[in-house]
Structure 1
Amino acid sequence: KTRTLTQVDALDVPKQSGATSTGNWLAVHTNLTRTSAFRTVRVAAGLERYDQVREAMAEGRVHAEQVEVIVRALDDLPDDLDPNLVEEAEGHLITEASRFDAVGLKKLGRRLLEVVDQDAADAHEAKLLEKEERDAQAAMRLTMYDDGHGKVHGRFVLDAYTGAALRKMLLSIAAPKHQAATQGPLGERKPTAERMGQAFGELINRYPVGRLPQAGGMNATLVVTMTLDSLMGGLKAAQLDTGGVISASLARRMACEAGIIPAVLGGKSESWIWAGRGGSTPARDGSSSCSRSVAVRSTAATPHPG
């Protein structure tokens, strides 16, 4: 039967009769289900490639389900593997077929190369992992958009190592002990997704600004422009250098944290650096990166003749 199917496929009979594949042709002419028909075709093709498997099936030592698994495992071996090792692997799976069903053979097949050549298995696994890691690095993506209602939505793709590191960082921040220590009694436990989202925000806000790459001689610092009245307790919204706006209360809180430098415009449009609890300092000479950050906003906010 399998030899007949192989010959049918070789003569391209299915295509001549209008079938899209040998599996579909067999299903129509034998009333087999498509699943059974395609399995039969795969088994037939495998038996043509592997003599030991064909002989074992003819002798009744393996059945169709086992053959399909064995053939797939053998096909997954490296193309440059020594043919003698392929034959050894084939014989090993046939022997194990007397003790394992198709499910058990499938598990053995995943580690087949280790059985016949441990060094080759290590080299093959290293090659696969290196390719997987290169592909993952090339696939890394991050997209974000502002919905105009105070929220930013995004999607990202990371390589497995970076993703695992991010998960551990977020879990440590979202841990109840940490949250209780930093925010007091937690009350009702929040859903995991919400806690992880808030942990992600805390991770970003905690990142040391001084460790970020510099652009134009300045750290990648978020700059907030607000009036002195808002800084001292007023309600007028603050302006971000990215074009967004935040509440005055949030701006005041952020002014006490590292990485956020509100550019406060005095009565004479003079730039001041708010130093949190330590007070404020005029920024006139632009000598520091923080001063230059403020100077950028001050210049943009001050009208010039012409």
Structure 2
Amino acid sequence: MVEQLSGALDDGHAASLIGLDRAATANLLRGLAQVASRLDALTATVLAHATQVRVEETNGATTTATWWADATHRNRATAHRDVTLALALSKFAALAEALAEGRVNTEQAHAIARALADLETDGPTDLDPVVVEQAEKHLVDCADGFDAKHLKVLGRHVLTVVAPEVGEAHEAKLLEDEERRAAEKTRLTFASDGHGMVHGRFSIPTLHGAMLAKAIQALTWARQDPAEVRQTRPTPVAAGAAFTELLERIDTKDLPTVGGVGATVVVTMTIDSLMDGLAAAALDTGEVISASEARRLACEAGVIPMVLGGQSEVLDIGRRRRFHTKAQRLAIAQRDKTCVVGGCDAPPSRCHVHHVIPWSAGGSTSVQDGRLYCSAHHAMVHDPKRAGRLRT
């Protein structure tokens, strides 16, 4: 049979496509895709047999999958995927038959097999085998109208279709487990490369991923002509631009603060640079940006410009109030940079402003008499037994 197939393929490669019109070409491609699926089904049957006869012992490989990878120069992940499907098809007869007949393609078969395997391992412990057979038949029938991606989603909910009396409770449990695992695995890391870029990666739950995607899409589509909006996934470049705009649009009033400076970026620049100069501006986080970028942010974004030489805000209000204003806290944060206790590098967002001369003892609420202390050291400075240990 293999020799006959090889000969037929030789004839096919030698055939001329001259005169093959559009409709005939479409039919030919559909036929070739069906033949490819049928051949994959046959390959899977032989692979399943290979696991039984331990074909890997012919060259000392550890598993059939590693032998298959070596023999065909596939990567190991693909080879393991092939063997997994082969073993699944030996168990799920309806799926194997559909693939052998070309009614299901190989990617669809992978999706269905994975859904059925998950149903057996993660489903109710007392799940009737008949329900699994019904799920298999239902997904095979669905393959006539859905691709592998949609079949994966349908497979996730198949139990609610074939056995709703247990499916709803099972799906609720799966969702709760997934959300718990997602919360445990949520991560965000980013770091500056020192050359004007910050790189990072994140892992977030499905809900928050959808929220981020919606925001990015909205900002991307907003730049397009309403009559020409293409509601497709933004390109990486467009998504990156939208993400930076999203950060600039965040209102600091919607974010919590510690010490009054939690989410406000302070840009320090000279009055000449603000007016039209070229000198760089400094961020309170230590980085520098161009004067033109600072001017843009000062006009459009939620950024506080601290202009050296300017007097746009009153920074010393003396005894009129006990707590420092936001402007005062920003000025103190810009001056102190971190908690003033030696060896402590807590940033302003994690610090309180401490009165050097206590307000209750007549001290003024001013920039000059304010100091940044992290919450731990602020508690120590007010503790007579521990205040002497602080080194500022």
The correspondence for 1:202, drawn from 216, 228, 245, is 245
Cα deviation 1:169-203 (Å, max 9, x = unaligned): 11111115x4679xxxxxxxxx8322221111111
Alignment partner for residue 165 of structure 1, among 186, 211, 218?
Answer: 211
Q: Which moved more, 1:134-143 or 1:117-126?
A: 134-143
1:207 is displaced (CA, Å) by 0.4
Give the structure 2 partner of residue 249 of structure 1.
292
Residue number among 202, 225, 230 corresponding to 2:273 in the alignment: 230
- Give 5+ residue unaligned stretches, structure 2: 1-47, 68-78, 99-108, 227-233, 318-322, 338-366, 368-391
Distance 1:233 1:71 in 2: 62
Offset at 1:65?
Answer: 5.0
CA contact (8 A) 2:116 2:132 kept: no
Change (3 A) 1:63 1:82: closer
Q: How does 1:1-306 map to 2 (within 5 A)?
A: 20=62, 73=116, 76-77=119-120, 80-82=124-126, 85-87=128-130, 89-90=132-133, 92=134, 110=155, 113-114=159-160, 117-176=163-222, 178=223, 192-266=235-309, 272=310, 280-285=312-317, 287-298=324-335
SS at match of 2:167: helix
Deviations 1:41-74 (A, max 9, x none): 7677x5xxxxxx9xxx8xxxx79657x9899838
1:75 offset after TM fit, Å?
7.4
**Cα 1:40–1:150 shift into 2, 3 Å:** closer
Tell me if the contact between 1:73 and 1:112 (Cα under 8 Å) persists in the aligned partners. no
Q: State the distance in 1 between where 2:249 and 2:267 align.
A: 17
Question: 203-212 or 132-141, which moves further after superposition?
Answer: 132-141
Change (3 A) 1:148 1:115: closer
Distance 1:154 1:36 in 2: 34
Change (3 A) 1:180 1:297: farther
CA displacement at 1:38 relative to structure 2 = 7.7
d(CA) in 2 for partners of 1:195 and 1:226?
30
**Structure 1: gaps (5+ residues):** 26-32, 47-52, 182-190, 267-271, 274-279
C-alpha deviations, 1:217-245, integer Å up to 9, x for none? 33421111122222232221111111100
- What secondary structure, in the 3-state scheme, does the structure 2 residue paired with 1:210 have? helix
Q: Name the amino acid aligned to 2:129.
A: V
Given that 1:136 and 1:158 are in contact with CA atoms closer than 8 Å, whether structure 2 keeps it comes out as yes
Residue 379 of structure 2: aligned partner: none
Q: Deviation per CA, 1:116-154, whole angstroms, max 9, x where unpaired? A: 531210111111122122222222222222222222222
Q: Distance in 1 between matches of 2:125 and 2:192?
A: 53
146-155 vs 110-119, which deviates more? 110-119
User: 8 Å contact 1:219–1:289 — kept in the other structure?
Assistant: no
How far did 1:215 drift?
Answer: 1.7
User: Is the contact between residue 265 and residue 298 of structure 1 (CA under 8 Å) also seen in structure 2?
Assistant: no
Structure-2 separation of matches of 1:120 and 1:234:
70
Residues 171 and 287 (structure 1), Cα distance of their counterparts in 2 relative to 1, 3 Å cut: same
- Matched residue type, 2:246: L
| Deviation of 1:295 (Å) | 2.9
Structure 1 residue 93: Cα displacement: 7.0
Whether the 8 Å CA contact 1:173–1:179 is kept in 2: the answer is: no
Aligned CA distance change for structure 1 residues 291 and 255 (closer, same or farther; 3 Å): farther
Quote the sequence identity (%). 39
